[in-house]
Amino acid sequence: MSQFYTIFMTIWRIIIGIFREFWWIILPLILFNIFRDLLKLYLKELRKKESNFICLQLLFSEEACLKPLRFMELFFDNLKNIKLEEDQNISCEIVGIDNQLKYFIRMPEKAQDLIAIILHSQYPNVELVQVNDYFSRIPPNVPNNEFSFWSKEYKYKKGNPFPLLTYENFYNIKTQEKLKSSNITDNIIEPNSYDPLSVIIEIFNRIRPDDIISVQCIIRNLNDKEKTDWDFEAQSIYNPLIGKAAPQKPESVGRILTKSIGDSLNSAITSVITSAPTTTTVSTPKTPTDTEQATIKNIEKKISGTNYKSSIRLNYISRPTDFSNSVTTSLEMFLKQFNNPCGNSIEEIKNDAPLVKMKTKIRNKIFPYIPTQISRQMFQKAINRKPSEKEIIISSKELASIFHFPFQNIYLSSVVMKKNRPGSPPPNLPYIP
Residue 70: pLDDT over 80: yes
Q: What are phi and psi of 254, to 5 degrees?
A: -65, -40
- Judge whether 391 lies within some domain: yes
Categorize the per-residue pLDDT at 367 as very low, low, confident or very high, splitting at 50, 70 and 90: confident
User: How far is Cα 170 from Cα 150, in angstroms, rounded to an integer?
Assistant: 29
Alpha-helical regions (H) of 286-429: 290-304, 325-336, 354-366, 370-384, 396-402
DSSP three-state, residue 150: strand
- Judge whether 235 lies within some domain: no
Beta bridge partners of 216: 93, 313
- Judge whether 15 lies within some domain: no
- Judge whether 322 lies within some domain: yes
Residue 167: pLDDT over 80: yes
Report CA Rg, the chain: 29
How many of the other CB atoms lie within 10 Å of CB of 54?
A: 16
Query: Taking Cα atoms as reference points, which of 413, 412, 408, 404 lies closest to residue 93?
Result: 404
User: How far is Cα 91 from Cα 115, in angstroms, rounded to an integer?
Assistant: 12
Determine the pLDDT at residue 426: 53
pTM: 0.76
Residue 42 CA from chain centroid, whole number: 26
Determine the pLDDT at residue 79: 93
> How many domains does the structure of the chain reveal?
1
Residue 268: pLDDT over 70: no
Say if CB 399 and CB 310 are below 8 A apart: yes
User: How far is Cα 146 from Cα 383, in angstroms, rounded to an integer?
Assistant: 18
Better-predicted residue by pLDDT, 32 or 296 = 296
Query: Taking Cα atoms as reference points, which of 142, 155, 284, 151 lies closest to residue 215?
Result: 151
DSSP three-state, residue 229: helix
Categorize the per-residue pLDDT at 8 as very low, low, confident or very high, splitting at 50, 70 and 90: confident
User: How far is Cα 157 from Cα 163, in angstroms, rounded to an integer?
Assistant: 11
Lowest-confidence region among 173-177, 222-226, 351-355, 367-371 = 173-177
Q: What are phi and psi of 22, to 5 degrees?
A: -120, 25
* The CA-based dihedral angle spanning residues 139, 140, 145, 147, taken in that order and rounded to the nearest 10 degrees: 70
User: How far is Cα 298 from Cα 342, in angstroms, rounded to an integer?
Assistant: 8
- Give the domain range for residue 394: 52-230+290-402
* The CA-based dihedral angle spanning residues 276, 277, 281, 282, taken in that order and rounded to the nearest 10 degrees: 150
User: How far is Cα 347 from Cα 317, in angstroms, rounded to an integer?
Assistant: 21
- Judge whether 253 lies within some domain: no
- Judge whether 311 lies within some domain: yes
Say if CB 312 and CB 89 are below 8 A apart: no
DSSP three-state, residue 103: strand
335-358 core/surface letters (b: 16 or more CB in 10 A; e: else): bebbebebbbbbeeeeeeeeeeee
Determine the pLDDT at residue 428: 55
- Judge whether 124 lies within some domain: yes
DSSP three-state, residue 384: helix
Per-residue model confidence as pLDDT tens digits over 200-248: 888 887 788 889 999 999 999 999 999 999 999 999 998 888 888 878 7
User: How far is Cα 402 from Cα 166, in angstroms, rounded to an integer?
Assistant: 8
Determine the pLDDT at residue 39: 75
Residues near 63 by beta carbon (within 8 Å), at least 6 away in sequence: 125, 420
- Judge whether 24 lies within some domain: no
Provide the percentage of residues in the chain whose pLDDT is more than 90.
40
